[in-house]
Chains A and B, each alone.
Chain A
Amino acid sequence: MVDIKPEYKPEGLEGAGYFATTLSKAVGLARANSLWPLPFATSCCGIEFMATMASHYDLARFGSERLSFSPRQADLLMVMGTISKKLGPVLRQVYEQMAEPKWVLSMGACASTGGIFDTYSVLQGIDRIMPVDVYIPGCPPRPEQVLEGILKIQELAKNEDIRRRHSPEYKAMLANYGLE
C-alpha cells in the first residue's frame, strides 16, 4: 500500500483514524484547490494567460483549469491587461456580480498601476475601483509568475476565516470602494 503524504495539511488534532481541525481550515482547504477563475483578459497579458492555460505550463495542475466565464459561479477574478476608463464600469459590474467569497488577482503592470500608459484614457490601476488581493508585476508577467500569483491566492483562501466576509472591517473596506 502506498503511503500517501498530503503536501499541505492544516494544523489540527490527529490520531488513529481521525483528524480534527477548525471549520475555517477545512473549508479553506477545499476552496483553495478548486478556484474557478474568471479571466477578464483585455490585452497582452491575456495572451500570456493563454500560454499559462496551454499544455506547456498547464494551469490545471493547480485546480484552476475550469474557467468560469459567468461571474456568478466564479471565485477568482483575474484582471489581465489594460483597463481603460471606458471599461472600468464593466469590470466593476462583473465584480459586483460575483458571489462571496471572491478574490481578485491583478495581472500585469497595466491592471495594477496603469503601467506605461499614463494617459487620459487609462484607469491607473484597478484598485481605484475594487479591492485587489494579489498583484502580479511584469509587462506582461511570465506564466511562472501567473502560477505563483494563483498559489498566493490559494494561500489566502486557505488561511481565511469563514467569518471574515461578514465582519464589519470587511464591510467597511468594501464601503471604501462604494461597494455594498
Chain B
Amino acid sequence: MELAIHNIIGEKLQTLLGDQYEGKHLEYDFMVYHIHKSKIAEALELLKTDADLNFHFLTTLCASHFPENKGAEFVMMYQLHNMYQNVRIRIKTQLPENELSLPSITQLWPSANWMERQEYDFFGINFEGHPDLRRILNMDEMNYFPLRKEYRMEDAGRDDKDDKFFGR
C-alpha cells in the first residue's frame, strides 16, 4: 500500500475541514477516513476534483445501524477508487438517529442516485438534494425501514410459523 498518497489526503482534508476531519486508521487493506457529517459533501468533492487525489470512481456506499451506540446510531460509508494510481479509500461518517440526513452526492456521481435510494429504502436516511428520493426495492406502501436492527427478518404479519415448531 502506498502510504504517501494517504498522507497527502490526510493533509488536504485537514486543511479543508479543520476539526471536522476526525482522523484516519487502517482497517485491513483499506485506509478509513472519518469525517464529520456536516462536511461530508465538501470532503467528497475535494477527493473527487483535486488533481492530486483524483478519486473519480464511487465504488459503493452503504449505511449500517448500531442501535447501542447512542448518539451515533447510523454509520454511512463511501468507498472511492482512484483507478489511475489504483488506490481505494473508505470515508465514514456517523449519524445520530434523530438527525438522519446527509447531503446527496448525486451531483458528483450520478451512480450514487440508486445507491442512496437503496439506503433510504433500508434505513430511512434522508439525502438532502436527491432528485428522486423514493423507495427503490421495496413496495411504496411499506411503512418501516427493514434493515434497521429492531425489525425482524421475517414478515411481521406471518401467522403460519408457529414458534413451538421452531424451538424459539
Contacts and interface: CB of A to CB of B under 8 A. Distances in A.
Direct contact of A and B (CB under 8 A): yes
Interface of A: 85-86, 118-121, 124
A165 to B, nearest CB: 29
A124 B153 CA distance: 13
Contacts of A118: 153-154
A118 B156 CA distance: 11
B154 A120 contact: yes
A124 B139 contact: no
8 contacts: A118-B153, A118-B154, A119-B153, A120-B146, A120-B152, A120-B156, A121-B138, A124-B158
A119 B154 CA distance: 4
Classify chain B's interface size. Answer: 10 to 19
Main SS at interface, chain B? loop
B4 interface: no
A85 B152 CA distance: 17
A85 B135 CA distance: 14
Most buried by B among A85, A86, A119, A120: A120
Given A118-B153, A119-B153, A124-B155, 16 more contacts: A85-B139, A86-B138, A86-B139, A119-B154, A119-B155, A120-B146, A120-B151, A120-B152, A120-B154, A120-B155, A120-B156, A121-B137, A121-B138, A121-B146, A124-B158, A124-B160
A174 to B, nearest CB: 22
A118 B154 CA distance: 6
Contacts of B156: 120
A119 B137 CA distance: 13
Nearest to A119: B153
Nearest to A122: B155
Interface in B95-154: 137-139, 146, 151-154
A124 B157 CA distance: 12
A86 B138 CA distance: 7
A86 B153 CA distance: 17
Contacts of A121: 137-138, 146
